[in-house]
Structure 1
Amino acid sequence: MRHLTKLVTVALAALLTFGSAYSASADKLKVGFIYIGPPGDHGWTYAHDQGRLMVENMLGDHVETTFVEGVPEGPDSERAIAKLAETGHKLIFTTSFGYMEPTLKVGKRFPDVHFEHATGYQRIDNVSTYSARFYEGRYVQGVIAGKVSKSGVIGYIASFPIPEVVRGINAFMLGAQSVNPNMKVKVVWVYTWFDPPKEADAAKVLMDQGADIITQHTDSTAALRPPPNAASMLLARLRT
């Protein structure tokens, strides 16, 4: 989470300092955030929202921030992004991979607005991307899991088969296998970032397959709530 708050703060501070989308005559810079889930998820969206709050705290009257939560990825998100641009937001953070194409489309319609897209790879003049080397942390987490696991089976709740998630799985597995070459990592794809019932079901499936440690690349805390008969289970939530 520290990476994300730093990224958001640095991007905003640079914009205010060098002023490509902000002028000294403006009363405030309006900054918008598009969230995939609720700020209270204690995961990815929570980390972004902590960055937003930090920006407000650091920059005070220079900024006015707005967030829109629970915006599904895909074409429908274009409307939410465009609405922020239409209402005077000059810097917009689109905080999930699936917002990439909609962000590019809105960016072309609003060349005077600057967009920051999380974990994407396509850019245009007013659309930038940001990320962090999350896979490095996942390798370390894999090492820890490899040392702790008694069954030799680790469960991994994965969201979507995109590069960021696949890198995380590979790094985690390599870390675990650096401790125990025979360690097995079982993956369940839930095809969502935030769906507590699905995440809880995935955790149960992995427990039934012998996993005594479960990690996740999703956003809710549902997988941390094991059933009563799994009291000895170690559930590690390693999303951000």
Structure 2
Amino acid sequence: MSWRKLGVLLLVLIFAATMVVGCGGSQDNDSQAPDQAQQEEFKVGFIYIGAPGDAGWTFAHDEGRKYLEEQIPGITTVTLENVSEGADAERYMEQLVQEGCNVVVANSFGYGDPMMEVAKRYPDVTFLHCSGLNTADNLSTYFGRIYQARYLSGMVAGAMTQANKIGYAAAYPIPEVIRGINAFTLGVQAVVLGQLPPEKAVP
């Protein structure tokens, strides 16, 4: 997924969050001047597993963040880089909430459990988790349709193989990775169906 597509995805998700926040609130705020309400800052915090300088995964997210700032007037973003998964992540998510973030975005699968815990404590904050499993009223997951590219790469591998033996190096057995393996396998089968031995998953 290109950084611009990621930016558009984040744009849609966060714009939806701004609508929820904008439509919410108590009657105590009705007396607030319209101009003042419109000028209130909407803040989005990003937690990165790496640094934008990696020219890869985190870089793409950060380019999406910049695109988001360009497209929505009045929005500001803050980033926390090289945040390890686990207890540290929960602490940093808490920090972003305390700094006034209306939305918190985390870009690694391992942030899922910490984000769920923080989301429970702050029901008025929206949380977005990349490649995740957990969802709640204020916690959503997002991911691009990378399995489509995996399918095409499987077709290429199927067309190129001469020995009818094809391997696939994967990371962890999480939904994102399993989707990729399945899509790749289906792509191979589309080209050489019946020529390959049964698939064997190697941990």
Scaled by the length of structure 2, the TM-score of the pair is: 0.79
Match of 1:27, as an amino acid? E
The answer to whether structure 1 residue 157 and structure 2 residue 169 are counterparts is yes
In the alignment, which residue of structure 2 is the partner of 1:221? none
> Is the 1:146–1:183 contact (alpha carbons within 8 Å) kept by the matching residues of 2?
no
Q: Which structure 1 residue ranges, 5 or more long, are not aligned? A: 190-240
Change (3 A) 1:146 1:113: same
- CA separation of 1:188 and 1:44: change in aligned 2, threshold 3 A: farther
Say whether residues 1:16 and 2:15 are aligned partners: no
User: How far apart are the structure 2 equivalents of 1:153 and 1:116?
Assistant: 39
Greater CA drift, 71-80 or 50-59: 71-80
- Asked which structure has the greater CA Rg, the reply is 2
Q: Which has the higher helix share?
A: 2
Q: What is the aligned-residue RMSD (CA, Å)?
A: 2.6
Distance in structure 2 (CA, Å) of the matches to 1:183 and 1:49: 41
Maintained 8 Å contact 1:32/1:65? yes
Does the aligned pair in 2 maintain the 1:21–1:113 contact within 8 Å? no
Counterparts of 1:154-233 in structure 2, within 5 Å, are 154-181=166-193, 182=195
Contact 1:158 1:187 in 2 (8 A): no
1:2-81 alignment to 2 at 5 Å?
Answer: 2=2, 3-18=5-20, 19=22, 24-60=37-73, 62-81=74-93
Match of 2:134 among 119, 122, 139: 122
Structure 2 unaligned regions, length at least 5:
26-35
Change (3 A) 1:152 1:42: farther
* 1:134-187 Cα distance to aligned partner (Å, 9 max, x none): 222211121122223455444433221112101111211221232234458897
Superimposed CA distance per residue, residues 25-46 of structure 1 (whole angstroms, 9 cap, x where no aligned partner)? 4532111111112223333322
| SS of alignment partner, residue 111 of structure 1 | coil
* Number of residue pairs aligned between Structure 1 and Structure 2: 188
Query: Equivalent of 1:83, from 71, 95, 100?
Result: 95
Which secondary structure state, in structure 2, belongs to the residue aligned with residue 124 of structure 1? coil
Q: 1:177 to 1:103 in 2, by over 3 A?
A: same
From the superposition, tell whether residues 118 and 144 of structure 1 become closer, same or farther in structure 2 (CA, over 3 Å). Answer: same
The residue aligned with 2:150 is 138
For residues 54 and 186 of structure 2, the distance between their equivalents in structure 1, rounded to whole angstroms, comes to 28
Q: What is the aligned partner in structure 1 of residue 109 from structure 2? A: 97
User: Which deviations, in whole Å up to 9, do the C-alpha atoms of 1:59-111 show, x marking residues without a partner?
Assistant: 24x11111112222223211111111111111111122211111111112222
Q: TM-score, normalised by structure 1?
A: 0.68
